[in-house]
Amino acid sequence: MNLGTQRRMAAQILKCGESRVWMSPEAAEKIKQAITRRDVRGLIKDGLVRKIPRKKSDRTGPRLRMLQAAKGRGGGAGSRKGATGGRAGKKERWLKIIRPQRSLLKSLRSEKKMLKDYGSVYRQAKGGAFRSRHHLLSHLEERKLASVSVSEYEAAEKARKTEMKKRTKEALRKRYGKIFAENGAKPSEKKQGRKEIGNAQS
């Protein structure tokens, strides 16, 4: 049944495209008899003709990816582009190495755990003699330059990381807590529920 004229008039009245005009299949004969705008307005008032709402992008997936990225995930070798120095320059890589070492040395000195040769070890770190804080601590323990062991430091570091992870998780829960449904439904379940509602409406 050709209802092109009625669809065109309804689109002009509803101020939308013809593809967004919904007509009740059960009332096709009644709609065909509408030959004036006044008739079409009556059909719209009766709910036999209506405007289909615009489709919106589902943001559940992007928000979930943002949540995973905030946790530090999704940045592995398969997701990286560019040369070795493309993601961070030489200066940035050096700062990531030297700042933790200097911070460690200063904390050992302030806690009076650094026994001797602070200046010498500091200059060695400046010269790039140590790869990491663990390497620096191994050197201090081996030469007996500080009253701290690698095992003690690792235990304290593990406790600190656990606490930081807990705080980060709590902050992420507060920020992204509305990604899923209130009852803890998964994104796939939410999407299925929306599909069922849409099918019922149509």
Alpha carbon 129 to its chain's center: 38
- Is residue 129 situated within a structural domain? yes
**What token pair was written down for 63?**
């928000």
- Is residue 202 situated within a structural domain? no
| Mean pLDDT, contiguous 10-residue spans, the chain (202 residues) | 89 92 91 91 92 86 86 87 83 94 92 87 95 91 84 86 88 71 45 49 48
Q: What is the CA radius of gyration of the chain?
A: 33
Residue type, 157: E
pLDDT at 180: 44
- Is residue 179 situated within a structural domain? no
How many domains in the chain? 2
pLDDT at 132: 92
Nearest 5°: the CA angle 100, 121, 128 is: 60
- Is residue 25 situated within a structural domain? yes
pLDDT at 179: 62
CA dist., res. 67 & res. 61, Å (int):
10
Q: Where are the alpha helices (DSSP H) in the chain?
A: 4-14, 28-32, 37-46, 60-70, 90-110, 118-126, 133-143, 150-176, 187-201
Report the CATH number that the domain containing residue 105 is assigned in CATH.
1.10.1200.60
- Is residue 98 situated within a structural domain? yes
Nearest one of 124, 156, 159 to 140, comparing CA atoms:
124
Map tokens 């009245």 to a residue. Answer: 13
Q: Domain ends where: 128, 148, 168?
A: 148
Domain of residue 36 covers 4-51
21-23 vs 49-51, strand pairing mode: antiparallel
Residue 50, SS3 per DSSP:
strand
- Is residue 198 situated within a structural domain? no
Cβ–Cβ under 8 Å, residues 34 and 40: yes
Report the CATH number that the domain containing residue 42 is assigned in CATH.
1.10.1650.10
Which contiguous run of DSSP H or E holds residue 49? strand 49-51
- Is residue 180 situated within a structural domain? no
How many other CB atoms are found less than 10 A from the CB of residue 134?
15
For 7-30, what is each residue's pLDDT tens digit? 999 999 999 999 999 999 998 999
Look up the pTM and report it: 0.50
pLDDT at 51: 94
CA dist., res. 76 & res. 55, Å (int):
34
pLDDT at 152: 82
- Is residue 117 situated within a structural domain? yes
Cβ–Cβ under 8 Å, residues 112 and 144: no
